[in-house]
Amino acid sequence: MDAFTIHAGIVAPMDRPNVDTDLIIPKQFLKSIKRSGFGPNLFDELRYLDEGKPDSDNSHRPLNPEFPLNAPRYQGASILLARENFGCGSSREHAPWALVDYGFRCVIAPSFADIFRSNCFKNGLLPIELSSDQVSELFEAMYNTEGFSLTIDLEQQCIRRTDGDDIAFDVDGFRRDCLLNGLDDIGITLKSADAIKRFEEQHRQRAPWVFELLEV
């Protein structure tokens, strides 16, 4: 996955609490285990005026003019500002896949569902938890400033603003290092590839009959 070090981007709002994973990416689109292709159906129920169907041509679907992500001022946004309990509901890794495929690199909220937060880190999406007051202040600044942007410095664990004081945030050290180095679960495992190979060779010598059965 792509490493996350410093990212600057336009901020877009999801100004409602308890946004669940079915709202992020509805269940009818969960037909693939690939990480790409879900962006066009991100927030499908809110984003379009018709009912979304798998494999439909989204370019011809009527857009909901009241949905913020459809507004010109939020086009190209890569930082999502959200409310409490973002990512609640069923455990589906497709939710961060859809956010990343759309173009988001970071979600800022007062709280996240635990499994969603974990899935974000594993897929290169940085979830930043701030206080409700801090998030509300960012919402106000964003609504008052077209093209409102932030710079996220993961190494320094700091959100930099051009219109105010910087905001510090905390990230688990292990997850932080994984994002900084672009390591998902497979990447973490491959770092120990030599040790794994040595173990397999030693195990083959100790129990050759196991490998004979596997090779039949």
Domain presence at residue 1:
no
Q: What is the pLDDT of residue 25?
A: 96
Q: What is the pLDDT of residue 24?
A: 98
Q: What is the pLDDT of residue 131?
A: 98
What would the DSSP string read from start to end of 192-207?
Answer: THHHHHHHHHHHHHH-
- Separation of alpha carbons 206 and 216, rounded Å: 19
Same domain? For 63 and 50 the reply is yes
pLDDT of residue 216 exceeding 70, the answer is no
pLDDT of residue 14 exceeding 90, the answer is yes
Domain presence at residue 94:
yes
Domain presence at residue 158:
yes
Q: What is the pLDDT of residue 109?
A: 98
pLDDT tens sequence across 30-75 = 887 777 899 999 999 999 999 988 888 888 899 999 999 999 999 9
Q: What is the pLDDT of residue 202?
A: 79
Same domain? For 142 and 212 the reply is no
Same domain? For 100 and 131 the reply is yes
CATH number at residue 105: 3.20.19.10
Total domains, the chain:
2
Same domain? For 147 and 192 the reply is no
Domain presence at residue 90:
yes
Same domain? For 77 and 153 the reply is yes
Domain presence at residue 146:
yes
pLDDT tens sequence across 123-175 = 999 999 999 999 999 999 999 999 999 999 999 999 999 888 899 999 999 99
pLDDT of residue 215 exceeding 90, the answer is no
Q: What is the pLDDT of residue 182?
A: 87
Same domain? For 191 and 122 the reply is no
Query: Which DSSP symbol is given to 157?
Result: T
What would the DSSP string read from start to end of 68-118?
Answer: GGGSGGGTT--EEEE-TTBTBSS--THHHHHHHHHT--EEEES-B-HHHHH
Q: Which domain holds residue 26?
A: 6-183
pLDDT tens sequence across 167-213 = 999 999 999 999 999 887 666 666 666 777 788 777 777 878 777 76
Same domain? For 201 and 178 the reply is no
Same domain? For 99 and 195 the reply is no
Q: What is the pLDDT of residue 33?
A: 75
**Residue 28 identity:** Q
Same domain? For 211 and 171 the reply is no
Torsion angle of the four alpha carbons 6, 9, 15, 17, in this order, in degrees rounded to the nearest 10: -20
Same domain? For 176 and 201 the reply is no
Same domain? For 64 and 154 the reply is yes
Same domain? For 191 and 128 the reply is no
- Separation of alpha carbons 205 and 106, rounded Å: 48
- Separation of alpha carbons 11 and 142, rounded Å: 7
Domain presence at residue 121:
yes
